[in-house]
A and B are shown apart, each in its own frame.
Chain A
Amino acid sequence: MTNDDIIESLVNRLKKKDKIALARLITIVENEPEKASKIFKHFENIKHDSYIIGLTGSPGVGKSTLTGAITQIMLDEGKTVGIISVDPTSPFSGGAFLGDRVRMTNISLHPNVFMRSLASRGYKGGISRAVFDISMLYEAFGMDIILIETVGVGQAEFDVYNLVYTVVVILVPGYGDAIQMQKAGIIEIGDIYDVNKKDLGGEDIAVQIEMMLDDTIFQSGYRPPVVLTDAINGEGVDELLQCIWDHKEHVELSGIINEKKKNRFSYKIKELIFTKVEKLIMENFVDENEVNAIVKSALEDGKFKLYNSIHKIFENVTFEVKKKN
């Protein structure tokens, strides 16, 4: 258990831009989320905001290579970049193979970049909790840009899309037709669509996406652009980055960014509250064993009885909140 002195020391080192301290604090927020408030109370005077970009797409589309390519350009432009790469935890073993860093070896030694590989760890509602906290640490560190790279599947309430200001959806040819894209839910969430590995038939996919966008009404008047890239030889990467800056300008000038920030924090606030409430209930009212007992009896007595079992538990109970004086 990490004690307060250690935290304070790490925080002071982070303020001096010590990357070792940043890395250790990330480990703490990942493994001991209850310590988060002890960490972040030290940053209450920091006003810095980073611009947060999300990159998503199925495994194998070249997310990491693209992330590395745009990071290189950003570094050349003098920006500081914090990267969070998320890969899924294996549901069978609980372990994970984190294979994003290997695609970014070229930028790994630049002083202005920091990258962390994260396993999803089967968090409820996606991996958002740790990602949010780490993005806050990156902001405390003073990063200009935060890149969050994940395998996206849709729009769960706690999904990572709620944590970023620009979403880049990456596709490759052979993805399937437009219907499959609709089904995957990806066609609604992107602020920019990038068709990578374009030499394998990228133009066709780009046309299909444009056709689907033609059918969509854009409230803000901003229509997501479709970019063609080949991350391996760098083709199109400049254009992609320009689209990102254009979108940034759009959300900042139109004020939409404030909505996005509200969204980001409201998610976190809800999550903090829900976590505390859940803990209270599990500690004081119903615990894991009782839940298991209900499951057992549902299987024995009949599954349809479970609705009533739960209802009965709460029927004759009231909850009272007493504030400490």
Chain B
Amino acid sequence: MFDKDYLEKIKLEKEKWEEKIKGSKERDVKFVTDSEIPIKKLYTPLDVKGDYLNKINFPGQEPYTRGVYPNMYRGKLWTMRLFSGHGTPEETNLRWKYLYENGETGFSAAVDALTFNGIDPTNPDAAPEVGTSGVPLYCIDSLFALTEDIPIDKISVALVVEPFTCAPVCAMYFNMAKMRGYDLKDLMGTTQNDILTMTVGYIPYKNSPPNHLLRVACDFIEWTVAQKNVPKWHPINFTGYNYREGGIDAVQELGFVFASACSHIDNLIERGWKADDFVGRLAFHLAAHKDFFEEIAKYRAARRIWYKLMKDKYEVKDPKNLGFRFHVQTAGSSLTAQLPMINIVRTAIQGLEANIGGCQSLHTNSYDEAICLPSEKAALVALRTQQVIADETRITNTIDPLAGSYYVEWLTDEVEERVWKYIDKIQKVGPIDKALSTGWLYKEMRDAFHKRRVRLEKGEEIMLGINKYQVPYDTVTDVFRTSQKAIDIEVARINKLKARRDNAKLEKILDKLRSVCEKEENVMPIIMEATKEGATVGEICDIYREIWGIWEPPLAI
């Protein structure tokens, strides 16, 4: 990239400079990135390898280092999409409207533990958790209530459910949209459908074994995109965010999502599809964590790695299908319950990383994240944080502004190289469901989390309020509490549904579902029928459990 002779000159001058500052003291701190890549005092043209057109090039062009679209934020800003849900669908609907009025440009449904795990509120072991950590979406009526007066034809909606309940919840959403008169061919949105979130990031309650989860995740991709039933839908977001929350680093995050993506693509190719039939709609959900430059380098490296995987490994032909599209969530695990106002600063910096890094969609955390679900006030601050970046900082004036920074280009290369090695490591264990069921992924997560705890307890990693400038937990910030009435409301909703639905007809459909599950056929068509006739998420998942068994994840202590 630079003239060879001139580089020699720089090298000589650099050596002179190093000689001059020899012996100057450095602070007693480890100068490494969050993923422990050692970092030099200074980066210069000497550190940037390769040439501009091959490695960096222009946005919207191979290898996509500078951005997935030619225009990026000059053409359209990222979607401001706050992950949100609590209490009941009606309450969540109000919160969604509030955020929309305040400038949100996309919706994202955070569902409760029962919806995640396919359990109905009539189950007494789970009843206390109705609506406490997200919105309950147990039946089609819930989806109607959630989207009342919400322009789902104009604004994209993200349904954050995972493979175990992806089919029933999305089928309810699609049926609701059809009944409202929308054409599924135009419907825009995303389903997270991420196999690792409910299995590694979080321990599932009575879910099915990973090989079945992988298959139904691919069923959903096949039915929506490959078979063109909901062609504009993003049927999956490979979600590194949750694994980051579990302690792994930036390199591992990309390794996990890419290995997972390859397993899904392989599964669909085995079914007879070509990569071009569906990869264009596969998307990603990454974290924006503490290390400012490493995260930005990570996003740039990710685009380059995905392009190479699509072009070289899967021989994707259509350039529209080569781009790495991603949503970002700022890191919840970096936030504290001590002095929560500081969380606003952390979130702002992390949001900035995501935007400089060129994300397509962003969720910024609320300052009360470590205490409770977001209060209205805190959610507004989170939204305004994105709007400050968009409207006041002018970082959107130009695309990929940090390109050409010697440090950032070097770090992008370094992260990319390490990620390739880690992908190899994972793939040696086998496809992603095997890496799960053998316990290998759990061990990686456990070791990473343990490493981080040790760093914290030794003071090598700082969390203000916790191990530096320690203060007690905050007791001043309002605690947002979800509705105590939610259990009764949701049980009543389901009873009403059961009373009006044709139970005999539904029973026959559910029997067909049993047969589909036994034969391992695509579950979507029959589940579309079942949810239209009023099946609940618990009823459908009970059939999964009946036919496929309940998985007990390996314990890694």
A and B touch in the complex (CB under 8 A): yes
- A316 to B: closest C-beta gap in Å: 53
Contact of B555 among A99, A232, A233 (CB under 8 A): A99
Residues of B within 8 A of A65 (CB): 552
Residues of A within 8 A of B554 (CB): 60
Residues of A within 8 A of B209 (CB): 232
The docked-state distance in angstroms from the alpha carbon of A65 to that of B550 is 12
Task: Flag whether A97 is at the interface (Cβ < 8 A).
Answer: yes
How many residues from A make CB contacts under 8 Å with B? 8
Is B557 a contact partner of A232 (Cβ separation < 8 A)?
A: no
The docked-state distance in angstroms from the alpha carbon of A190 to that of B524 is 47
Residues of B within 8 A of A99 (CB): 555, 557
Chain B proximity mask over A63-77: 1 for CB below 8 Å, otherwise 0? 001000000000000
- B449 to A: closest C-beta gap in Å: 16
The docked-state distance in angstroms from the alpha carbon of A97 to that of B555 is 11
Residues of A within 8 A of B293 (CB): none
Task: Flag whether A102 is at the interface (Cβ < 8 A).
Answer: yes
Task: Flag whether B549 is at the interface (Cβ < 8 A).
Answer: yes
Q: Which residue of chain A has its CB nearest to the CB of B549?
A: A233
Chain B interface mostly helix, strand, loop or mixed? loop
Q: Which residue of chain B has its CB nearest to the CB of A230?
A: B549
> Contact size class for B?
under 10
Task: Flag whether A248 is at the interface (Cβ < 8 A).
Answer: no
- A116 to B: closest C-beta gap in Å: 19
Interface residues of B in 150-178 (CB under 8 A from A): none
Residues of A within 8 A of B552 (CB): 65, 103, 232
Task: Flag whether B440 is at the interface (Cβ < 8 A).
Answer: no
Contact of B557 among A60, A97, A233 (CB under 8 A): A97
Q: Which residue of chain B has its CB nearest to the CB of A99?
A: B555
Task: Flag whether B292 is at the interface (Cβ < 8 A).
Answer: no
- B481 to A: closest C-beta gap in Å: 30
The docked-state distance in angstroms from the alpha carbon of A222 to that of B247 is 53
The docked-state distance in angstroms from the alpha carbon of A188 to that of B125 is 46
- Name the residue in B439, B550, B552, B554 with the highest tally of chain A Cβ atoms < 10 Å from its Cβ: B552
The docked-state distance in angstroms from the alpha carbon of A65 to that of B554 is 12
Contact of B549 among A60, A97, A232 (CB under 8 A): A232
Residues of A within 8 A of B273 (CB): none
- A228 to B: closest C-beta gap in Å: 16
Residues of A within 8 A of B557 (CB): 97, 99
Chain B proximity mask over A135-163: 1 for CB below 8 Å, otherwise 0? 00000000000000000000000000000
The docked-state distance in angstroms from the alpha carbon of A60 to that of B551 is 14
Residues of A within 8 A of B555 (CB): 99, 102
- A213 to B: closest C-beta gap in Å: 29
The docked-state distance in angstroms from the alpha carbon of A65 to that of B549 is 13
Chain B proximity mask over A253-292: 1 for CB below 8 Å, otherwise 0? 0000000000000000000000000000000000000000
The docked-state distance in angstroms from the alpha carbon of A103 to that of B551 is 11
Q: Which residue of chain B has its CB nearest to the CB of A231?
A: B552
Residues of B within 8 A of A233 (CB): 549
Q: Which residue of chain A has its CB nearest to the CB of B554?
A: A60
Chain B proximity mask over A52-94: 1 for CB below 8 Å, otherwise 0? 0000000010000100000000000000000000000000000
The docked-state distance in angstroms from the alpha carbon of A232 to that of B550 is 7
Interface residues of B in 224-252 (CB under 8 A from A): none
Residues of B within 8 A of A103 (CB): 552
Q: Which residue of chain B has its CB nearest to the CB of A105?
A: B552
- B101 to A: closest C-beta gap in Å: 47
Q: Which residue of chain B has its CB nearest to the CB of A235?
A: B549
Residues of B within 8 A of A102 (CB): 555
The docked-state distance in angstroms from the alpha carbon of A232 to that of B554 is 12
- A205 to B: closest C-beta gap in Å: 17
The docked-state distance in angstroms from the alpha carbon of A103 to that of B554 is 10
Given contacts A102-B555, A232-B550, 10 further A-B contacts (CB under 8 A): A60-B439, A60-B554, A65-B552, A97-B557, A99-B555, A103-B552, A232-B209, A232-B551, A232-B552, A233-B549
Q: What are 14 A-to-B residue pairs whose CB atoms are below 8 Å?
A: A60-B439, A60-B554, A65-B552, A97-B557, A99-B555, A99-B557, A102-B555, A103-B552, A232-B209, A232-B549, A232-B550, A232-B551, A232-B552, A233-B549
Which B residues contact A (CB, under 8 angstroms)?
Answer: 209, 439, 549-552, 554-555, 557
10 smallest beta-carbon distances between A and B, as pairs? A233-B549, A97-B557, A232-B549, A99-B555, A103-B552, A65-B552, A232-B552, A232-B551, A102-B555, A232-B209
